[in-house]
């Protein structure tokens, strides 16, 4: 099960970014939220120059799986 029902609608990096930030809002307030928001931003900066559509889809899929794991933790 995905952390939010919109997970299957994520197709672009901008949609993924917004989706992950919405997931963060469901985490307990404070340092945990700040940590994951920072991690999301850093990850997007690292992958900003990615231009291979197949690789982008792999990154999106993995990010959603990771968000699912964090939300169920």
pLDDT of residue 7: 74
Tens digit of each residue's pLDDT (9 = 90 or more) over 36-67: 999 999 999 999 899 999 999 999 999 999 99
In which domain, by residue range, is 47 found? Answer: 7-72
Q: Is residue 43 part of a domain?
A: yes
Compute CA distances 27 → 17, 22, 23, 41, 51, whole Å: 16, 10, 7, 16, 31
Q: Is residue 1 part of a domain?
A: no
Q: Is residue 38 part of a domain?
A: yes
Number of domains in the chain: 1
Q: Is residue 18 part of a domain?
A: yes
User: Considering the entire predicted model, what is its pTM?
Assistant: 0.82
């Amino acid at each position: 099960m995905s952390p939010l029902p919109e997970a299957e609608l994520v197709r672009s990096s901008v949609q993924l970014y917004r989706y992950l930030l919405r997931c963060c809002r469901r985490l307990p307030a404070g340092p945990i939220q700040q940590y994951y928001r920072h991690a999301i931003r850093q990850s997007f900066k690292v992958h900003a120059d990615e231009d291979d559509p197949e690789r982008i889809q792999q990154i999106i899929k993995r990010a959603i799986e990771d968000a699912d794991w964090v939300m169920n933790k």
